[in-house]
Structures are given as structure tokens and as C-alpha cells.
């Protein structure tokens, strides 16, 4: 009995202390509540600042952006070495074509490979109407003067294409395609084999960010981004 009385007495004392503590914490009214809110807000800002400084946060943020690039560049060193054997082997490999296109973009000369790819697609056309439409689109995008992605062709070649564009055949762009192919093989391909993009691949190193070189021509594609061909067939 005596033990029970002692227990209840201690319990009452604890409750009394808790009530006193509660009054001390919450009894100062709105002023204390305002201070607590400010402190909590400050703590949240500090936690957010620490989170932003953690490297794993930035890795997660950039993983979505780099995911697509990673899918495009899953190429073994052995595959990349084969590209160095000839320009034809480079273009005949899907990964090689993508990598070479990425390299040309660093030099702002991707119109050459895009024209070559468009011609390859054009030569597979069977429907007469599609041949006419695709030929017109290629001419307007790559051949005619001041085209948005004009390729470097001599006057004679351009003149022949211009005269035949109303009645095109599957061979209408053969001469121009051959000229651009030779230009890439003798010029761009040589630099590609010495580029960081290619050397990183054959050495199995992670791809590093690419730096864009200034274009030697008097305009860039961005200046003509609103100009579109009648048929959007390669984008």
C-alpha cells in the first residue's frame, strides 16, 4: 500500500513537471511561435544547401541528360578500331555513322553527312511521287544557293542538278554525293581519326564533353532554323 502511494506521488510530480515544461515552451504566445517558425525555416534552408553540395545529388540530376548519349556511344574499342581501316567501314557501321556525325557537329559541318545520308535514303525510293518530293526537299535543303544546310559544290554540279530537279531520277544527286563523300574522306575523316572523340573510344576511355569549333563559313544552321523543306523526311 505504502509502495503504491509513493508510485502515484512520483507520477503526479512527473505530470506536474511536464505541465510546467509545456507552459514554458508554449506559454509565451505568438512571439515564441514566430521564432520557432523562423528557426525551422532556417534549418530547412541549411539542409537544402547541404543537399545541393552533395556530389550524388548532381550525379542523379545529370544522369537523365546523359542517358541518351550513353546509349549512342556503347561501342567497344575493337569496333572503333575497324573504323580506322577505311572511311567506308566507318559509315557502314551504325555507331560509326553516329559518332562521325557527332564529330562533324563540333566543326559545324554536319550538313555534309546529313546530305550523304539523305542521298542514300533517296536512292531507295520507289514511288514516283516520293522521288519528286524527296528530290525537291534535298535540293532546297542542301543544294540551292543560300540553302539552310548548303553543301560545298562546284557551280557546274549545282547547275546540272537545278536543271534536272523538275524531272528527277534516282541518280540525280550521284555526282554531288560523290563530291561530298570525297571531301569528307580526304578532310573530315582524317581529323576525326585524330580527334578526342575517336581516340577515347579506341582507348576505352569515358566520353568527354565536346568543344564546338568556329565555323569557317559565313553562316551557321541556327540562322536558318525556321527554314524548312516541304517534306521533313530525315529529322
d(CA 14, CA 98): 75
79 Cβ neighbours under 8 A, 6+ residues apart: 93, 95, 96
Share of the chain above pLDDT 70, in %: 57
3-class DSSP string for 155-196? HHHHHHHHHHCCCCCCCCCHHHHHHHHHHHHHHHHHHHCCCH
pLDDT tens-digit map of 67-78 = 443 355 589 999
Please tell me the least confidently modeled range out of 41-50, 88-97, 157-166: 41-50
User: How far is residue 21 from each of residues 14, 15, 28, 125, measured CA to CA in Å?
Assistant: 10, 10, 12, 86
**CA nearest 98: which of 198, 199, 11, 215?**
198
Q: What is the pLDDT of residue 203?
A: 92
d(CA 42, CA 25): 19
The three-class DSSP label of residue 147 is: coil
Q: What is the pLDDT of residue 137?
A: 97
**185 pLDDT above the threshold of 60:** yes
pLDDT band at 116 (very low <50, low <70, confident <90, very high): very high
d(CA 46, CA 91): 53
Q: What is the pTM of this model?
A: 0.60
Q: What is the DSSP string of 79-91?
A: HHHHHTT-HHHHH
pLDDT band at 206 (very low <50, low <70, confident <90, very high): confident
Share of the chain above pLDDT 90, in %: 54
**220 pLDDT above the threshold of 50:** no
pLDDT tens-digit map of 147-156 = 999 999 999 9
Amino acid at each position: 500500500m505504502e509502495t503504491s502511494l509513493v508510485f502515484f506521488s512520483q507520477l503526479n510530480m512527473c505530470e506536474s513537471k511536464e505541465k510546467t515544461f509545456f507552459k514554458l515552451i508554449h506559454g509565451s504566445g505568438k512571439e515564441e511561435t514566430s521564432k520557432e517558425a523562423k528557426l525551422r525555416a532556417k534549418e530547412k534552408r541549411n539542409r537544402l544547401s547541404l543537399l545541393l553540395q552533395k556530389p550524388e545529388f548532381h550525379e542523379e540530376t545529370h544522369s537523365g541528360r546523359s542517358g541518351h548519349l550513353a546509349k549512342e556511344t556503347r561501342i567497344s574499342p575493337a569496333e572503333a578500331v575497324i573504323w580506322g581501316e577505311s572511311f567506308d567501314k566507318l559509315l557502314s557501321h551504325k555507331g560509326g555513322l553516329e559518332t562521325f556525325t557527332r564529330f562533324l557537329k563540333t566543326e559545324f559541318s554536319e550538313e555534309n553527312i546529313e546530305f550523304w545520308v539523305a542521298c542514300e535514303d533517296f536512292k531507295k525510293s520507289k514511288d514516283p511521287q516520293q522521288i519528286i518530293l524527296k528530290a525537291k526537299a534535298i535540293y532546297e535543303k542542301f543544294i540551292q544557293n543560300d540553302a539552310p544546310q548548303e553543301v560545298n559544290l562546284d557551280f557546274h554540279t549545282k547547275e546540272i542538278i537545278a536543271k534536272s530537279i523538275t524531272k528527277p531520277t534516282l541518280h540525280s544527286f550521284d555526282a554531288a554525293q560523290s563530291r561530298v563523300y570525297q571531301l569528307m574522306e580526304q578532310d573530315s575523316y582524317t581529323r576525326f581519326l585524330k580527334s578526342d572523340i575517336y581516340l577515347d573510344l579506341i582507348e576505352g576511355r569515358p566520353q568527354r564533353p565536346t568543344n564546338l569549333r568556329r565555323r569557317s563559313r559565313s553562316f551557321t544552321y541556327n540562322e536558318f532554323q525556321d527554314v524548312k523543306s516541304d517534306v521533313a523526311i530525315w529529322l
